[in-house]
Structure 1
């Protein structure tokens, strides 16, 4: 779909100023305390301090797979066939080896909770000396990691789980587009040919369990060194989904170890209400999509193609089923018992966040529980002491990160359209409901995706022009970069 650039000059300056204002409003942390920086530099120079020897896995030919330009590399993987099944090795950056519990850097990470990504840069959970240096699984250097070994049978079901502190050495820093191109051309090496095989087995298992994935067009901001900003819609590549299945697999394995240990912290999402699923079936019918009564939502959604307007509209409506995720700790004084029914409904399994500790605080703690259980040692007291407060800490960080992402996109949309007031643009309606505003008889409140430039906006207008899944034309009424708002009307 479309993209348009904010060129260097006054428009780009407006973006830079607007982003700085947004960070101030949301209190996005843009620097670290001197004490935290000193601690990070010292631990990076020192390296991990280990009470027991690390397993040497440097002969394992791991690779990383990330967007281009990424330096904070949390994960590296290796896949192999064993008999009729598979072995998944998944190395995760060992952040706990560099952060002293109760220290200045630890306090800094709790204040942030997450890495904050914006069009003009990232504001990391950890200083770059760790997140892009000593802690990152960069290629051709030795790195400390929590190395998972997960056995799968021929159907992709988990047969055995192991995780231990290790030394690893990534062989290559790969990108999704590069791997996908090699797979499509048949030129990928033998190990990478297993990525879609294992990924699809795990995706199929997720759907069979009652879970689901959504193909929703992403609206992304891109920036370049010359001060150019662009907005574009992007559909995910198969290599991204297959790689994400390796991460989900590891999170499911971690949750199993937490259950065995009687302590941990799980990522949860309540099941969709029957009324919401029934409403979604009506949406599918209204869009002319055939959803057989006996077919689960997950099976139906698996065949969606977000490049088709009606499919994109359905997927956008379906995101309402996946709201309200949180964390549930257990094994603590306040929450001693292993929870019942605390699953993640989209994954349809008990699940823990462990695969992104450089960018997400909770993963450091969830990983330590798994490591302790497999090693046959007690879960560290500093881990147990923090679990009960982590849900609130992560919720606050997520709320701030989401607001920053949305505010950044809103700003660039307004800058892109500020010079186009009065223009008529093509759009697709991806969300629509009757307007409850005064005088709203025959009116609808809708969300439209403008084709060129790639803008997503709310609009109120005649219901017949804003039918879900339909193509329409909209006029730019106003665009205010200062307020980060765009006003559209049906043309």
Structure 2
């Protein structure tokens, strides 16, 4: 399933950075003629992995792990929490209460470096790809599936190489001690979001994550205090319709997903602090919004009837909004302008001047998804070296300067894939309904040009013709075009 934060292309922190936005589970092919081959061809996505890289992967998998250089942490009852059916499992977690007032988080991350030799054929191809691309009819993996869904994945009941983070928190959820080292781990269970959500509702949550709700809530409170600009928008998703085709659905984010994402965010912030202290690393950065941009958004919110008192930061104002309300949805979509300018900042000779991530309210580094994202492998090596008080490997230092460009390029492709798949599904779902009318919410005003509206059934976001459209306004619209070839959907306001 392809997933896109509303609007397509990603607006929230999770969508833009892959934070907590886990990949979908296994995918099914649609009926002939209703696949996404046109998207693959248009964007030049690779179809197969090079034979030399595949052979290299098989060779590394066949070699036994160097257990002597790793801590044996196989006694930790770690669990993975992902979408149902996921196989590329990057993270396994265990949350415990510490003696006294506080918590201990064990977070095991797949150690991809154990299988990818720097400078080899596999490494070359991985650096070319940058990240896994997810399409409704199958993904384009960063690593061969022999690694990403098998040997390197933290599958249950299998001993795996991992980078193990141990983070002690105080009673308010703030880190007081951080340790990271190579380890052998063994997940005891593969959990999924829906199952955990049911367990929380009816009791019987897995003991390894019984403290996750407490820590998750504390970290969410800390996010608001930090000034994190988080957009709690639902997701447009494309999924099989059971008849060989595809359908669009709107999926709100489960609370357990938000809590689980907080563990990833916590780890990424700890990693960033280690890098900044050592003066070497690569950060994910988003500049703070200009004061006039915040003021303009606040005025727009107040015009829509959303109370946003002067002096209230965006983090607090947005945290209280339910995006299901039309006017609140419009404010959330408009708030995407607060998170522009995302990029990567590499440094190797002291902390950079630009080190913050406005969406998180702190410095942040990608370290928790190495099976799916290139930069995480390098960031992990920096943190392992800093923690052990040794030099960062030369192959890591040599690559740092190239990572911002490589990741920026792959991020752009991922965004194009996401938007194209959503647009294709929208056009397919509406191609036989031209002329019909729908209730809609205006997301962006027209201002002399085409505006943008959200139709709930099916969940579609598209251009809308008509004068005088106002953000948050509820209107009726008529579908005037839905072309599967161009992937263009257009509505017009009904007087």
Task: Provide the secondary structure at the position in 2 that maps to 1:376.
Answer: coil
Distance in 2 (alpha carbons) for counterparts of 1:467 and 1:377:
58
Distance in 2 (alpha carbons) for counterparts of 1:131 and 1:224:
27
1:233, distance to aligned residue in structure 2 (A): 1.2
2:423–2:488 Cα contact (<8 Å) kept: yes
Task: Provide the secondary structure at the position in 2 that maps to 1:88.
Answer: strand
TM-score normalised according to structure 1 size: 0.92
2:488 paired with 1:485: yes
Task: Provide the secondary structure at the position in 2 that maps to 1:138.
Answer: coil
1:145, distance to aligned residue in structure 2 (A): 0.2
Moved more, 364-373 or 311-320: 311-320
What do residues 233-268 of structure 1 show as CA deviations (whole Å, max 9, x unaligned)? Answer: 111011011111000000011111112322111111
Distance in 2 (alpha carbons) for counterparts of 1:270 and 1:338:
16
Partner of 2:470: 467
2:34 to 7, 10, 15: 15
Distance in 2 (alpha carbons) for counterparts of 1:72 and 1:26:
24
Distance in 2 (alpha carbons) for counterparts of 1:139 and 1:226:
32
1:235–1:307 Cα contact (<8 Å) kept: no
Task: Provide the secondary structure at the position in 1 that maps to 2:264.
Answer: helix
Partner of 2:96: 80
2:402 to 374, 386, 389: 389
1:432 to 436, 445, 464: 445
Alignment of 1:411-426 (within 5 A): 411-426=424-439
1:425–1:450 Cα contact (<8 Å) kept: yes
Q: CA RMSD in A?
A: 1.4
Task: Provide the secondary structure at the position in 1 that maps to 2:475.
Answer: strand
1:15–1:412 Cα contact (<8 Å) kept: no
What do residues 168-209 of structure 1 show as CA deviations (whole Å, max 9, x unaligned)? Answer: 000111111111111122321444231121111111112111
1:225, distance to aligned residue in structure 2 (A): 6.8
2:383 to 363, 370, 385: 370
Q: 1:225 to 1:355 in 2, by over 3 A?
A: farther
Task: Provide the secondary structure at the position in 1 that maps to 2:211.
Answer: helix
Alignment of 1:31-50 (within 5 A): 31-49=48-66
1:67 to 83, 98, 121: 83
1:308 to 325, 331, 334: 325
1:224, distance to aligned residue in structure 2 (A): 5.9
User: Which runs of 4 or more aligned residues in structure 1 lie more than 6 Å from their structure 2 counterparts after TM superposition?
Assistant: none
Partner of 2:169: 152
Distance in 2 (alpha carbons) for counterparts of 1:329 and 1:21:
35
2:115 paired with 1:101: no
1:275 to 292, 295, 316: 292
What do residues 30-80 of structure 1 show as CA deviations (whole Å, max 9, x unaligned)? Answer: 211000111111112224346x52100011010111111110000010001
Distance in 2 (alpha carbons) for counterparts of 1:399 and 1:280:
26
Partner of 1:231: 248
Distance in 1 (alpha carbons) for counterparts of 2:194 and 2:339:
27
1:15–1:411 Cα contact (<8 Å) kept: no
Alignment of 1:296-335 (within 5 A): 296-331=313-348
2:282 to 245, 265, 280: 265
2:34–2:245 Cα contact (<8 Å) kept: no
1:448, distance to aligned residue in structure 2 (A): 0.9
Partner of 2:456: 451
2:276–2:350 Cα contact (<8 Å) kept: no
List gaps (5 residues or longer) in structure 2: 1-29
1:113–1:125 Cα contact (<8 Å) kept: yes
Partner of 2:420: 407
2:485 paired with 1:476: no
Partner of 2:8: none
2:442–2:471 Cα contact (<8 Å) kept: yes
Distance in 1 (alpha carbons) for counterparts of 2:82 and 2:373:
16
